[in-house]
Amino acid sequence: AQSVTQPDIHITVSEGASLELRCNYSYGATPYLFWYVQSPGQGLQLLLKYFSGDTLVQGIKGFEAEFKRSQSSFNLRKPSVHWSDAAEYFCAVGFSSNTGKLIFGQGTTLQVKP
Amino acid sequence: GAVVSQHPSWVICKSGTSVKIECRSLDFQATTMFWYRQFPKQSLMLMATSNEGSKATYEQGVEKDKFLINHASLTLSTLTVTSAHPEDSSFYICSARSTAEQYFGPGTRLTVT
């Protein structure tokens, strides 16, 4: 069965430090991969997505993610975290038929220390 | 970007009553909308896929008679929680799919007392 795992439930980093949020997926076919951010009172916002092509994907707000098929991973990175990045981050996998149906990971809460 | 709204943003109801939640795509037409449920500090669980003009497709384990979904137009889908009980208390999120991607609403907090 398809699944998405985010091993880190909670991460705390200092402002200005680098960030990596982990995501592993289990899916038999070519996955569509997404990272979303959820802030209180706001809907999930798409940070970036991978469908095909270059395995290093650039997103909004300075985020990037790298698809590694051999490791079934799609980790999210940012070189320098800002206090406004504190939020809940979700990795998601979509079906290769692109029905729009998404399976989400458990989420990682990012706390940023001043 | 595209905007999806939900109404109400929060609702409190008594056990045994029904509650309707609206999901609207404000500046685009969505042939497909999705309903998710999110428990505190947990992931989003897909409940059903709503297609305009046809019956919704429910995920395994979701009671279709309890969670009624109607997608009457290309910009509106509704979720009705019938005979609500405290265990139905949750955060309900909808999303609407455009040709480009999927946009999420801000969610509706339902508390059943």
Q: Would an 8 Å CB–CB cutoff place A105 in contact with chain B?
A: yes
Pairwise CA distance, residues B99 & A71, whole Å: 30
Q: Per the CB < 8 Å rule, is A49 touching B41?
A: no
Q: How many CB pairs under 8 A join A and B?
A: 45
The per-residue pLDDT for range B37-57, each reduced to its tens digit, is: 998 778 899 999 998 888 899
The rounded mean pLDDT for chain A is 92
Asked if residue A99 has pLDDT above 70, the reply is: no
The per-residue pLDDT for range A39-84, each reduced to its tens digit, is: 877 789 999 999 888 999 999 999 999 999 999 999 999 999 999 9
Q: Which residues of chain B have pLDDT under 70?
A: 1, 100
Chain B residue with minimum CA distance to A91? B43
B44 vs A contacts (CB less than 8 Å): 44, 90, 102, 104
Separation in Å, CA of A106 to nearest CA in chain B: 4
Residue pair B85/B112 in contact (Cβ under 8 Å)? The answer is: yes
**pLDDT in the model for residue B68:** 96
Asked if residue A6 has pLDDT above 80, the reply is: yes
**pLDDT in the model for residue A30:** 75
Q: In A6-113, which residue ranges form alpha helices assigned H by DSSP?
A: none
Q: Per the CB < 8 Å rule, is B43 touching A100?
A: no
**pLDDT in the model for residue A97:** 58
Mutation to test the B interface, candidates A9, A44, A102, most B Cβ within 10 Å: A44
Q: Per the CB < 8 Å rule, is B43 touching A41?
A: no
Taking residues A13-37, report their average pLDDT.
92
Asked if residue A100 has pLDDT above 80, the reply is: no
Q: Per the CB < 8 Å rule, is A43 touching B93?
A: yes
**pLDDT in the model for residue A48:** 95
**pLDDT in the model for residue B64:** 93
Q: Per the CB < 8 Å rule, is B104 touching A102?
A: no
**pLDDT in the model for residue A65:** 98
Can the peptide bond before residue B8 be classed as cis, meaning omega within 30 degrees of 0? yes
Separation in Å, CA of A9 to nearest CA in chain B: 9
Chain B residue with minimum CA distance to A6? B43
Chain B residue with minimum CA distance to A50? B101
Which band of pLDDT confidence, cut at 50, 70 and 90, is reported for residue A101? Answer: confident
